[in-house]
Every structure is written in structure tokens, then in C-alpha cells.
Amino acid sequence: MKGTCWLNIQDGRCEVNINGATLKSECCATLGAAWGSPCERCEIDVNECEVFPGVCPNGRCVNSAGSFRCECPEGLTLDGTARTCVGKDTSSTRILPSQVLPPHRN
Ligand SMILES: [Ca+2]
């Protein structure tokens, strides 16, 4: 379905439509801030988990609107990048069996 593509949203209203009907996906991926009549705000989300299958090494990727996050299985925790699951800091404690890292994979 094609509809109006809007350049701006001002005070919750869509302003300045671009000549010609476009698909929502085309409008929102390019110039549009909103699309359709009545207009709906463009919410562009990329499913990073599908685009980057290896984005969360050792963890599970969870897509969210405009972002994504990595969740770690029991016994692992996110490192400073918030992307990679690693064993909890064991430098000052004894390593328990449940905290041993799985074999490293690349
Ligand atoms: Ca996303």
C-alpha cells in the first residue's frame, strides 16, 4: 500500500508531505519522519539479531525498538562492551565449576 510521506513531525502533527505516494518502508528508510493518512510516526527498527547473527558471542540477542541487547546464560555476565558474555570476575575468588568458561569459539 502506498501513501503520503511526511518530512517533519511538529507538535505531534505531520508537516510537509513529499510529492508522490510511497511505501511506508521506502518513506521511513529515506526522508520520512512519518507516513500515511492519518499519519503514523516512522519507527525504524532493525532486527540486529537477524542482521548480525554473531552479535552476542556466548549469549542471546534480544531485539528491541531502535536497539537490541544481549542476555547471558546462567553463570556468565556481560563484559564492558555489553555484547560478549564472559565468566564472572573470578580474579579474587575461586573458580566454581559453574563459572568456568565454555570452550572459546570464533
Ligand atoms: Ca532493533
Tell me: do 37 and 60 sit in the same domain. no
Domain membership flag for residue 72: yes
Bridge partners (DSSP) listed for residue 71: 60
Tell me: do 28 and 54 sit in the same domain. no
CA dihedral (26, 31, 37, 42) in degrees, to 10, reads 80
**For the chain, what is the domain count?**
2
Of 87, 103, 102, 58, nearest in space to 70 by CA: 58
E-strand spans in 31-104? Answer: 34-35, 40-41, 60-64, 67-71, 76-78, 85-87
Q: How far is the CA of 70 from the centre of ligand 1 (A)?
A: 12
Q: What is the pTM of this model?
A: 0.48
Domain membership flag for residue 69: yes
Q: pLDDT 10s per residue in the chain (106 long)?
A: 999 999 999 998 999 999 999 999 899 989 999 999 999 999 877 899 999 999 999 999 999 877 899 999 999 999 999 999 999 765 544 445 555 566 666 6
Range of the domain at 15: 3-41
| Cβ-Cβ contacts under 8 Å for 93 (sequence gap 6 or more) | none
Q: How far is the CA of 49 from the centre of ligand 1 (A)?
A: 8
pLDDT for 92 equals 42
Q: How far is the CA of 72 from the centre of ligand 1 (A)?
A: 18
Domain membership flag for residue 30: yes
Domain membership flag for residue 59: yes
Q: How far is the CA of 50 from the centre of ligand 1 (A)?
A: 9
Tell me: do 35 and 54 sit in the same domain. no
Tell me: do 36 and 53 sit in the same domain. no
pLDDT for 90 equals 56
